[in-house]
Amino acid sequence: STKFCHRPQAYLPADNRVLTQPLRILRGLRPTLALRGTLPLHPRCGPVQAMSGLSWDELHAAFDRRGLAKGSVASSSSAAPAAAAPAKENKKDGKKEKGGEKEAKPVKEKPKWGEPGAGKAKKEKAAKAKVEEVEEPIPETPEGEKKDMSSAMAATYNPKAVESAWAAWWEKKGYFTPDAKSAKGTAESKRFIMVIPPPNVTGSLHIGHTLTGAIEDALTRWHRMCGDVTLWLPGTDHAGIATQSVVERLLYKQEKKTRHDLGREEFLKKVWAWKEKNGDRIKHQLHKIAASTDWTRERFTMDAMLNKAVVEAFIRFHDQGLIYRDHRLVNWSPHLRTALSDLEVDHEEIPGITYLEIPGFDQKVEVGVLCEFKYQIKGTNEFLTVATTRLETMLGDTAVCVHPEDDRYTKFIGKELVHPFYPNRKMVVIADTMVDREFGTGCVKITPAHDFNDFKCGQRHKLEMISIFNEEGHINELGGEFKGQHRYEARKTVEDALKKKNLWVQKKPHAMKLGLCSRSKDIVEPFMKPQWWMNCKDLADKSVKALREGELKIVPEFHHATWYRWLENIQEWCISRQLWWGHRIPAYKVIDPPQETEMWFTGRNMEEAVAKAEAKLGKKGVKLQQDEDVLDTWFSSGLFPFSTMGWPDTEGNDDFEAFFPTSLLETGHDILFFWVARMVMMSIGLLGKLPFHTVYLHAMVRDAHGRKMSKSLGNVIDPVEVIDGITLEDLNKKLYEGNLPDKEIEKAKKGQAQDYPNGIPECGADALRFGLLAYTLQGKNVNLDINRVVGYRHFCNKVWNATRFGLTYFGEDFKFSGSLQLDAPFAWEDRWILSKLSACAGKTNQAMQQYEFANATTATYSFFLYELCDVYLELLKPRFYVQDESPEVLADRQVAREVLYICLDWSMRLLHPLLPYLTEELYQRLPPSPIKAESITIAQYPTHVIAWTNEALEKEMETVSDIAAKFRSQKTSIGLNPGARPAGFVLHRDEDTRTALGKVSTRLARMANMGDITILPEGAPAPKGSLQEVVNESCVIFIEASGVNLEDELAKLKKKATSAEKMVKSYEDKMNAPGYEEKVPLAVRETNLQKKDASAKELEEFRRAIAQISEALKERK
């Protein structure tokens, strides 16, 4: 009634519970109850409607439906499913088991994704729930303003509402923007500086980028909350080949033109326009996942400041003699007509004869075959049979190579051969240990201009380098009768020609690796081309030394071997690319006066290069032409840690002085060499110091089946699709937005239907981040199952509901004092939860320090769910519901409120680096405190408190939890009604434990969902009419047996006894086996003995229980 709502306290006589602050608890019951009028309420909890015409039963039922009845909030039933939970810690500390008292359910969430239907009844129930639960609109917050927190907390967690507005407010408040002037001179231990691995500007972040963002943001927020000077600098990479390819395809699609139709200048205008239009997509995604980057320092690798650094680096390395020009082999993409880095080449396994489609050729290409043909020994009728997977390259052969110790061919070494299509070409048989005598015929054709191994062999033996391809991959003018043919057309015509000359032997299936251009999917060709190269040998040696001597740290350490292997075997780096989009090489060729051999000069501009040329040539009026090529994207990326700080302009540069070197480089292990090693080498070469002192390499994200993310498989996940949710239909539609062929689209659609039959449900950014971080212990690969992320969405809901419930205990005028007095009259559960909270803080800080993010998620998840919610909040209820207003009770409630405040406050702060949006939202709703920060982002991170640690009490709780769990389990097994509260009895062999249990028997009863629990003295007989259950070898419990089917219980116990008997016998058999004492280590023998004794004690208890029930059955008869 209205009168009821105005009372300061309201009693529910049905179970003698007291509801303090009824207006707060009753809010949100509008859909269920008759309404009349509006009553004011505390601003943190919002208004509540007055109610009239309700019976006690109706009111109680309404509470149950809204999830506020006894046990509903503190139960973990609505949290993440078992498969989704991090590894549990201290399972015994209050973890409830199935079969306990059935508690009132919280407000119904959306049906679990992927749950099987239940027919018409389920549909009708869902429809009814939809009518009753109308999602409240999300209040709009002006951009950059703080969210209004005066409205009521929603009944259920809504990620969209919770995650709105905070990012813009954080950014406007400048929480993520450190002051460079005041940061100068900060000790290394109190600074945390990191640059983002710049994603390609071409596209959007995929789930792998999101893992990077989650890790880096968690670290950044943790360091910021620890009081460190913190900068996380964002930026994007111009991605030369990727961006140019995208714009070229778009240009042809829209205007049917190529870049050559436009010319370089006009084409680059198109690329810049595309970048300006599409470049903010990544920034939007980073905002969505709560990345706390300093957007005032955002960088793009083609910005003027970074371009200046690239030019300076090239010139300095050239002046040092490390950059030079040479005519040698490169990875070449004929379709794109450019050299490729190793990272831009995908090496695919070809199991045997396979037919591939490649761009620019209208027939399928046969690969996965080994072709054998013969070369005639000049002047004889003898032949040497060679084998090759690339038959067309024989047009450039200049030798046949055999192993010098191969007796089959030693007599031919030095002999001349006849090339069937170039009879005047000099070809010889050479000997080299590069030949594998067991492969093929043991004779290898040598094509120095079209194979990397052959190139080295050709250099060793001074062979002629004959290039028979042009840049488009066609046979050039040296190809004789095959001139002008596509190289794969020539593959067939050369075979036909060899057959006509009776030189063809056979073709057979052959497993091989094939290099494909990652952008165009064309087959990559080794190709002779004048390029700019960088000698990295000396810089690589210094980088190896830095790791060996501990100056550089790489985590995890198993990546050290990769670092040493790559850098100790480093090759020259081809740094030029035949593209227009990128950093144009600052090198200029002399064109007037003409030179016998090419002469090149570097310069920061044309004038500087001309001055160098005129000084060198000793004449005025020298004309130069700048190289058309651009630098490899990895060249500019290698400068990112210091180019972003304004290098080379370091004088008076506050950012450079304050923030370089950086602290950490975090990225995926797949680019350890391509990016990380090059940053280290270039920083050593240009600045004489490391760019960072630590490298953390995370795992690569794969799908739930362990497959690499691939557009053609349909398993590439956009983080926004997980955050906001997406239907299967819309997932399918997105496939058509890319450049996949129709066949690949159909394949991808099947993959999506298999993995996401109901689409992807809305999870929110927090759940996605938490789920990804929980995966980081998997090693080199993360097999991501979206269902687990959905589970963490339920955990977020649990955090929301538990905090909302906890706030009801504070009252409108509560203000936390700022600290706990150690001499306060703490209850048993207060001291326990503080000990566990301190332990959680210690574990979480240690996990963050050691980059063990999964351990951080486990520690915080376990504490909040299994200790705070499942145990502490449950044990608080009697302290607030008791009908007693004595000074002692009021003082106890005040202590409980303060401990609860500490638990909620610390939980939010501990979780903040992992769940930034949710924790800010809930932190803002906590009651005031002198130590409460304006934002949780700048609140102090909790640390271990030694004074709170109480290991003895934690062990007591483990014992209590074990016993409570066993009572709940026994109630279920004997078929008792969940609401039943039978009396219980505990018999424990240890006297100290009996004493401790006696002091907390009421807590034990509440945790066990039992009536009164009596602690029996040692040797006490089993209570009459009770059923026995073994907890462990030291403890037995008894439960009242009235109304219990003893025959069924007896059968169950006999099965358990049989199992225990088998266990005892198995250990006895092991221990009695011949040679056991001599062969089995002592530690194992001791463990086996302990396990055998424990099983024997359990068997003894089972037999006692069987005898007890048998006796009870006799009494009944």
| Pick from 672, 665, 670: nearest CA to 696 | 665
Cβ-proximal residues to 348 (8 Å cutoff; 6+ apart), any chain: 513, 514, 516
| Pick from 181, 89, 8: nearest CA to 653 | 181
Name the residue type at position 1083.
Answer: A
Whether the upstream peptide bond of residue 81 has omega within 30° of 0, thus cis, is: no
| Pick from 612, 623, 620, 618: nearest CA to 589 | 623
The full length of the chain comes to: 1117
Maximum CA pair distance of the chain? 125
Query: Cα–Cα distance between 104 and 594 in angstroms, integer?
Result: 91
DSSP state of 363: S
Q: Which two tokens stand for residue 620?
A: 């005025």
* C-alpha neighbours within 13 Å on the C-beta side of residue 643: 29
Q: Using only C-alpha atoms, what is the Rg of the chain?
A: 37
DSSP calls for 984-1009: EEEEES-HHHHHHHHHTHHHHHHHHT
Strand 587-592 to strand 600-602: parallel, antiparallel, or no bridges (unpaired)? antiparallel
Residue pair 643/636 in contact (Cβ under 8 Å)? The answer is yes
Query: Cα–Cα distance between 706 and 775 in angstroms, integer?
Result: 13
CA dist list (Å): 13 to 7, 18, 19, 52, 363: 15, 9, 11, 18, 85
CA torsion, points 903, 906, 909, 914, in degrees to nearest 10?
-60
Kind and range of the H or E element at 399? strand 399-402
CB atoms within 10 A of CB 836: 28
Residue that is written with structure tokens 């600045």 in the block: 687
| Pick from 721, 591, 573: nearest CA to 635 | 573
Q: Which long-range contacts (CB under 8 A, 24 or more apart) does 786-790 make?
A: 786/704, 786/717, 786/722, 786/755, 786/756, 786/760, 787/83, 787/84, 787/113, 787/114, 787/704, 788/80, 788/83, 788/84, 789/84, 789/722, 789/763, 790/84, 790/112, 790/113, 790/761, 790/763
pLDDT at position 844, please? 98
Query: Cα–Cα distance between 588 and 314 in angstroms, integer?
Result: 13
Q: Which two tokens stand for residue 256?
A: 């049917």
Secondary structure of residue 976 in the 3-state scheme: coil
DSSP calls for 537-593: HHHHHHHHHHHHTTSSEEESGGGHHHHHHHHHT---EE-EES-SSS-B--EEEEEES
859 burial level (CB within 10 Å; 0-12, 13-18, 19+): buried
CA torsion, points 610, 612, 614, 616, in degrees to nearest 10?
-150
Secondary structure of residue 427 in the 3-state scheme: strand
Q: Which two tokens stand for residue 511?
A: 């497993």
Residue pair 317/685 in contact (Cβ under 8 Å)? The answer is yes
Residue pair 863/840 in contact (Cβ under 8 Å)? The answer is yes
Secondary structure of residue 3 in the 3-state scheme: helix
In degrees and rounded to multiples of 5, residue 1066 shows phi and psi of -65, -40
Strand order from edge to edge, sheet including 623-626 = 600-602, 587-592, 623-626
Q: Which two tokens stand for residue 708?
A: 């690499």
Residue pair 20/808 in contact (Cβ under 8 Å)? The answer is yes
CB atoms within 10 A of CB 1006: 19
β-partners of residue 364 are none
Name the region of 818 (left: φ>0; alpha: ψ -120 to 50; beta: rest).
Answer: left
β-partners of residue 573 are 534
pLDDT, block means (10 residues), the chain with 1117 residues: 31 34 36 31 34 37 38 39 44 40 36 37 44 63 94 92 96 97 96 95 83 96 98 95 90 91 95 89 91 97 97 98 95 92 87 93 94 96 95 97 95 96 95 90 94 95 96 95 96 97 96 91 94 96 98 95 95 94 97 94 97 94 96 96 97 97 94 94 98 94 75 74 91 79 82 87 95 82 82 95 95 90 92 98 97 96 97 94 88 95 98 98 96 97 96 95 93 74 93 94 95 93 85 92 76 88 92 89 89 90 79 69
Residue pair 900/876 in contact (Cβ under 8 Å)? The answer is yes
DSSP calls for 68-100: -STTTTT--TTS--GGGSPPPS-TTTT---TTS
CA torsion, points 682, 683, 685, 689, in degrees to nearest 10?
-160
Secondary structure of residue 376 in the 3-state scheme: strand
| Pick from 86, 83, 232: nearest CA to 773 | 86
pLDDT at position 117, please? 40
**3-state percent breakdown (helix, strand, coil) of the chain, nearest 5:** 45, 15, 40
Name the region of 332 (left: φ>0; alpha: ψ -120 to 50; beta: rest).
Answer: beta
Kind and range of the H or E element at 114? none
Q: Which two tokens stand for residue 874?
A: 């449950």
pLDDT at position 1113, please? 75
Query: Cα–Cα distance between 639 and 627 in angstroms, integer?
Result: 21
In degrees and rounded to multiples of 5, residue 656 shows phi and psi of -65, -45
DSSP state of 675: I
DSSP state of 753: H
- How many helices (H) and strands (E) are present in the chain, helices listed first? 38, 37
Beta strand segments in 699-780, E: 700-703
β-partners of residue 1029 are 1037
Query: Cα–Cα distance between 672 and 695 in angstroms, integer?
Result: 9
DSSP calls for 851-914: T-HHHHHHHHHHIIIIIIIIIIHHHHHHHHHSS---HHHHHHHHHHHHHHHHHHHHHHHHHTTT
Cβ-proximal residues to 565 (8 Å cutoff; 6+ apart), any chain: none
pLDDT at position 110, please? 37
Strand 630-631 to strand 984-988: parallel, antiparallel, or no bridges (unpaired)? unpaired
CB atoms within 10 A of CB 488: 21
